[in-house]
């Protein structure tokens, strides 16, 4: 019995310690963001890594999300004879919910995992220790550019996702299912408010922080050997995805 308690206690303590360590990691990275010298070149590289290279994935998932929304919503709305609301339906669900979440999940899968693996490899091949030995702060060189890049890139990529999705919905709703194109856009303009756009923006910025933070942390503290890196990568993707969905719900309920 005492043995069981001891095991349970050890798990709880190690989970708490991990949480504390993650939070301290985030704080020290956030502190470094505002301290010169800034590594703009590195930032640009990471923006290309997060942004440009995710573009194709975002274009594909965005257009198909919009298309499938149009298809499904059309058949639901037809039951109430209000097909005209297809435009606002698609726009609101994309802008408020699906755009930020799906693009964050896609970027986690594409860039977050690669980032964890890359930093993990640097850790196990002792490149991070080499940086420290040269009196270069590894957080400034490796972590801060990623976090800043993600904070800039996520809202932009979410906006691209939304716009592509709206036009994908247009393609299916107007061209295939025969809703009038004028209705689609004019009702959308009536129903979508700045509040909705801002909610999507807040969500995507916070997802950017979550993804870059978790991916960097897991890579930075990855275990030894190839198995350690693969474990860190898996954990980073799973944890980021869960946190994205949980945070999405909480932010949605705060700012409804």
**Site for other proteins, rule CB under 8 A:** 44-45, 47-48, 51-52, 55, 91, 95, 153, 155-157, 159-160, 162-163, 188-190, 192-198, 200-201
Q: How far is the CB of 99 from other proteins (least distance, A)?
A: 9
> 147 with 212: CB under 8 angstroms?
yes
Q: How far is the CB of 57 from other proteins (least distance, A)?
A: 13
Q: How far is the CB of 67 from other proteins (least distance, A)?
A: 18
Q: How far is the CB of 9 from other proteins (least distance, A)?
A: 48
* Residue recorded with tokens 């019995």: 1
* Residue recorded with tokens 């091949």: 125
- For other proteins, the closer of residues 47 and 119 by Cβ is 47
Asked if residue 37 has a cis previous peptide bond (ω within 30° of 0), the answer is yes
Give the largest CA-CA distance in the chain.
71
Contacts of residue 113, defined as CB under 8 A and 6 or more positions apart, other chains included, come to: 215, 233, 236, 237
- For other proteins, the closer of residues 103 and 233 by Cβ is 103
- For other proteins, the closer of residues 80 and 224 by Cβ is 80
- For other proteins, the closer of residues 129 and 190 by Cβ is 190
- For other proteins, the closer of residues 31 and 189 by Cβ is 189
Residue 223: phi and psi, rounded to 5, are -80, -175
In angstroms, how far is CA 143 from the centroid of its own chain? 16
Q: How far is the CB of 157 from other proteins (least distance, A)?
A: 6
| Torsion-angle region of 221 (φ positive above 0: left; ψ -120 to 50: alpha; else: beta) | alpha
């Amino acid at each position: 019995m005492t043995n069981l308690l001891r095991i349970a206690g050890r798990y709880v303590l190690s989970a708490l310690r991990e949480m504390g360590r993650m939070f301290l990691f985030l704080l020290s990275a956030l502190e470094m963001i505002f301290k010169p010298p800034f590594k703009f070149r590195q930032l640009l590289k990471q923006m290309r890594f997060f942004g440009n290279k995710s573009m194709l994935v975002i274009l594909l998932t965005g257009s198909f999300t919009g298309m499938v929304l149009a298809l499904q919503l059309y058949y639901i709305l037809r039951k109430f004879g209000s097909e005209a609301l297809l435009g606002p339906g698609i726009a609101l669900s994309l802008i408020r919910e699906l755009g930020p979440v799906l693009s964050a999940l896609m970027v986690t899968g594409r860039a977050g995992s690669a980032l964890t693996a890359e930093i993990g490899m640097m850790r196990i091949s002792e490149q991070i220790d080499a940086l420290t030995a040269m009196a270069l702060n590894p957080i400034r060189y490796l972590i801060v550019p990623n976090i800043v890049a993600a904070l800039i890139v996520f809202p932009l990529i979410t906006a691209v996702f939304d716009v592509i999705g709206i036009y994908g919905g247009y393609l299916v709703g107007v061209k295939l299912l025969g809703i009038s194109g004028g209705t689609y856009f004019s009702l959308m303009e009536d129903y979508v408010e700045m509040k909705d756009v801002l909610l999507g923006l807040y969500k995507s910025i916070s997802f950017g922080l979550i993804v870059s933070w978790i991916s960097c942390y897991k890579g930075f503290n990855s275990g030894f050997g190839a198995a350690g890196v693969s474990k860190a990568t898996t954990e980073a993707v799973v944890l980021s995805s869960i946190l994205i969905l949980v945070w999405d719900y909480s932010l949605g309920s705060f700012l409804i």
